[in-house]
Amino acid sequence: MNSLTPTEFLNLVNQTLDYSYSSTVIVGEVASFKVNQGKWVFFDIKDAESSVNCFMTLWSLRQPIEDGMKVMVRGVPKITKWGKFSFTVTSISPVGEGSLKKAYEMLKKKLTAEGLFDIGKKRPLPKDITSLGIISSTGAAGYADFIKIINARWGGIHAQVAHTQVQGMDAADQIIRALKYFNEHGEVQVIAILRGGGSADDLACFNDEALVREIAASKIPVITGIGHEIDESLADLAADVRASTPSNAAELLTPDRSEMSAKLSHTINRTEQLLLQEISRATTQNHDKLNNLSRSLLTDYIAPAISQNRQTINRVSGALLTRYIEPLRQSNHHKMTQILQKIQGECNLAQQNISNKLRTLEALNPEKVLKQGYAILSGKISPGNVVKITTFKESITAEIKQVHTRK
Amino acid sequence: MAEKLSLNQKIAKLDTEVEWFYSDDFKLEDATDRYKAAVKLAKEIENDLNSLKNEIEVLTEDFSK
């Protein structure tokens, strides 16, 4: 049987452990947390019954950790050369609402003190975006919302999408790599980091210290659209612009083509109104000028000319009166007199004729005969008949006794 | 050959054209022609707005490594 040295034995055991338990994840509570020589971190991770010694380098520590926090650690079990069991941690992150909140507050305080979130460092987003870097998971709902809205609102943008995880222990590193990629290539005007809503654990990667520092150091302006309105990550605080959601990020990055269309229409209408007002004003001004000009002509030229030529005008009008108008008037008067005389003669003749007829009628009037003593007998002349006798003054009824024929 | 302007350049040009109407350089003699030019430009912008599409390119780089 081959014998082994202690070193060989431990190497063999460690190979076996590494093969069997590579990338093991343990979730538990932190105890006895301490940092040695500013480089090495030691702590225990425990539950109600057991405890595991953990070791890691300080630079691997991405979020503040302290005793009592619930954490998730990933690493490899190992036996040290002194024969002591240890879990070598490659990554650690708080889990559970309380621990996450505690870590968030601690890191926020630290980075705020460093000035990482200073408002003065924020850069405005470029107005006319034609190139955009997107960091998101292409399968995520938040990414789909962003693409849908940006396509509806605007066009002409070349968007390069870096597909990364947006939750879990590897997400922060992948997002950091994508940020480095866009900054190194320098082809985009702005970088959008997008992730839809999720639990505090889902969004924990956006409170990763290294990621927050990478965002703050980005040469290209960064906009974040992570979670919902109420979810404020440290990545949001470090970004130049924080959108409340991926959809909101799309709205902040692009103008709305329908709003632009309405604005265009309004601009043209406003310009048309202005033009019409100017034309109207110019027309009024020209009208006033013409009036002023005609008044000036009348006052300055025509009236003096009339005054100066008044004698000439009088002489001409007198000559016109004597030579033309008065003879015409005389001629008309003579004709009128002749017509009137003719009418008068006709009237006298008619009057004479009527008088003669009246006299004839007067002579035939029966009343005049009765007045001379005659009487009028009316009725059938026959003995025994009753007749009517009319005199000038009386009307008599008489019976006929006898009828004799005159000789 | 006429200069081919981008959408944003056209919008900027239209803004300049409209500003002229409010400026001291305004002349009624030139206004009608400039108004017609502005309307034509606005229609071009409207057409561009309706026809422009975005290009979405998913990078092939593997950011998990």
Instruction: List domains and CATH numbers for chain A.
Output: 6-95 (2.40.50.140), 112-118+129-258 (3.40.50.2300), 366-399 (no CATH)
The phi and psi torsions of A365 (rounded to 5 degrees) equal -70, 120
Contact criterion met (CB below 8 Å) for A153 and A254: yes
Contact criterion met (CB below 8 Å) for A57 and A119: no
**pLDDT of res. A292:** 82
Listed by number, the residues of chain B in 7-46 with a beta carbon closer than 8 Å to a beta carbon of chain A are: 7-8, 11, 14, 18, 21-22, 26, 28, 31-32, 35, 38-39, 42, 45-46
Spatial distance between the Cα atoms of A64 and B60, rounded to a whole number of angstroms: 34
**pLDDT of res. A178:** 97
Chain A residue with minimum CA distance to B33: A275
Q: Verify whether the Cβ–Cβ distance B59 to A170 is below 8 Å.
A: no
User: What are the beta bridge partners of residue A24?
Assistant: A75
**pLDDT of res. B28:** 84
Spatial distance between the Cα atoms of A124 and A253, rounded to a whole number of angstroms: 11
Cβ of A178 under 8 Å from any chain B Cβ? yes
Mean pLDDT of chain B: 88
**pLDDT of res. B2:** 58
Chain B residue with minimum CA distance to A262: B46
Spatial distance between the Cα atoms of A98 and B52, rounded to a whole number of angstroms: 48
Spatial distance between the Cα atoms of A11 and A17, rounded to a whole number of angstroms: 10
Instruction: Give, for all 407 residues of chain A, the pLDDT tens digit.
Output: 679 999 999 999 999 999 999 888 999 999 999 999 999 999 999 999 999 999 999 988 888 899 999 999 999 999 999 999 999 999 898 998 888 898 999 999 999 999 999 999 999 999 889 999 999 999 989 999 999 999 999 988 999 999 999 998 889 999 999 999 999 998 999 999 999 988 888 898 999 999 999 999 999 999 999 988 887 899 999 999 999 999 999 999 999 988 888 988 998 899 888 888 888 888 888 888 878 877 887 788 777 777 777 777 777 777 777 887 777 777 777 777 777 788 777 778 878 888 888 777 777 777 887 888 888 888 888 899 999 998 989 999 999 998 888 87
